[in-house]
Amino acid sequence: MKAAIALAAALCGTPAFAGWEPTKPVEIVVAAGAGGASDQMARMMQAAIQKNNLMKQPMVVSLKGGASGAEALMYMKSSEGDPNKVLIAYSLIYMLPLSAKIPFNWRELTPVSVIALDQFVLWDNSAGPKTVKEFIDAAKAASSPFKMGGTGSKREDHVLTVFLEQKTGAKFSYLPYKSGGEAATQLVGNHTEANVNNPSENLEVWRAGQVRPLCVFDKERISYTSKVTDTQSWADIPTCKEQGVDVQYLMLRAMFLPGKVTAEQQAFYVELFHKVTQTTEYKDYMEKQALKPIFLTGKDMVQFLEEDDAINKSLMTEAGFVAK
């Protein structure tokens, strides 16, 4: 861990291109199933790198979504010293070790860069209540608890549901689906009353007018103002705080290398992903999926990770999701 921080510290200035290049195809490890947000992002990067000739070797997407993504974490952990694998990580790197006692610590990997932050939105069926207040009132008045769909158990979606309960006093029964896409269709089919999907997961059903965004779990509104549906843009969704429910959560999307790689190897990838964030493919993707752009590396990244880890840990503890 100290080594990783030292490496990162050494690189905190402008990362110089140090001359190392991969000689084998680079595996981009996705800790989720096919078609999910991580997979889509990985394929966007694969396409961006290939179309703009950012790297000589090809990039291969390798899906390791087994055991809710734990497979990918263990795979990275066991690939120590191998500079041809990059993990596209999200909040599971903090949560899985807590909820399922997976012997994994993100500090054993080499941080490369944080490339985006993902939002969470409270959605309901377009036939359901129109505002957060009406929704909460309806949930309280319902004879059996409202069903809230989400991805996985004891993860970000589940934590958000527990916090909604705590802040509003309404009761929900949480249904853990295998993917955000499934949670989206189940909401459209009226099998659940609401979900807390990422914007990208509900985008298409929103555009088709089948679901309604109630509020976004962030301090400020999403910045994209171009119309997504006939009448609304991402920026038109109020924050939950505006609507009287003070719950906030953002999820990182970050790249990691396995532990014990050299500084040159790390520098190569920092440079590579920095170039990726300059491409039009990346920019279009960010806007379309309503992701918050960010690029952190070196010391800033480690500091961000430490703070983020602390927040997630306290949320998990409060929600009672930490395994004994």
Is the CB of 25 or the CB of 244 nearer to other proteins? 25
CB-based contacts of 67, cutoff 8 Å, min separation 6: 100
Is the CB of 209 or the CB of 244 nearer to other proteins? 209
CB-based contacts of 138, cutoff 8 Å, min separation 6: 128, 129, 146
Distance CA 36, CA 153 (A): 16
For residue 4, how many other CB atoms are within 10 A of its CB?
Answer: 21
* Contact with other proteins (CB under 8 A) among 3, 12, 50, 227: 50
Distance CA 65, CA 178 (A): 10
Is the CB of 93 or the CB of 296 nearer to other proteins? 93
Tell how strand 172-177 and strand 146-151 pair up. parallel
Least separation in angstroms between residue 129's CB and other proteins is 19
Could you tell me how many residues of this chain bind other proteins (CB under 8 A)? 65
Specify the stretch interacting with other proteins by CB under 8 A; choose among 105-113, 153-161, 212-220, 267-275: 153-161
Restricted to residues 89-128, the positions that interact with other proteins (CB under 8 A) are: 99-103
Encoded one letter per residue, x for contact with other proteins by CB under 8 A and - for no contact, window 12-31 reads: -----------xxx-x----
Residue 206, SS3 per DSSP:
helix
* Contact with other proteins (CB under 8 A) among 10, 47, 235, 311: 47
For residue 143, how many other CB atoms are within 10 A of its CB?
Answer: 4
The answer to whether 280 contacts other proteins (rule: CB under 8 A) is no
For residue 171, how many other CB atoms are within 10 A of its CB?
Answer: 12
The answer to whether 162 contacts other proteins (rule: CB under 8 A) is no
Least separation in angstroms between residue 148's CB and other proteins is 10
Least separation in angstroms between residue 190's CB and other proteins is 8
Tell how strand 121-125 and strand 211-216 pair up. antiparallel
Q: In sequence order, what E strands does the chain have?
A: 26-30, 59-63, 85-89, 110-118, 121-125, 146-151, 172-177, 194-195, 211-216, 251-257, 292-296
Distance CA 218, CA 275 (A): 28
The answer to whether 40 contacts other proteins (rule: CB under 8 A) is yes
The answer to whether 81 contacts other proteins (rule: CB under 8 A) is no
Is the CB of 191 or the CB of 313 nearer to other proteins? 191
Residues that bind other proteins (CB under 8 A): 23-25, 27, 33-35, 39-40, 43-44, 46-47, 50-51, 58, 60-62, 64, 66-68, 70-71, 74-75, 78, 99-103, 144-145, 147, 152-155, 158, 173-178, 181-182, 184-186, 188-189, 191-192, 203-205, 207-208, 210, 284, 321, 323
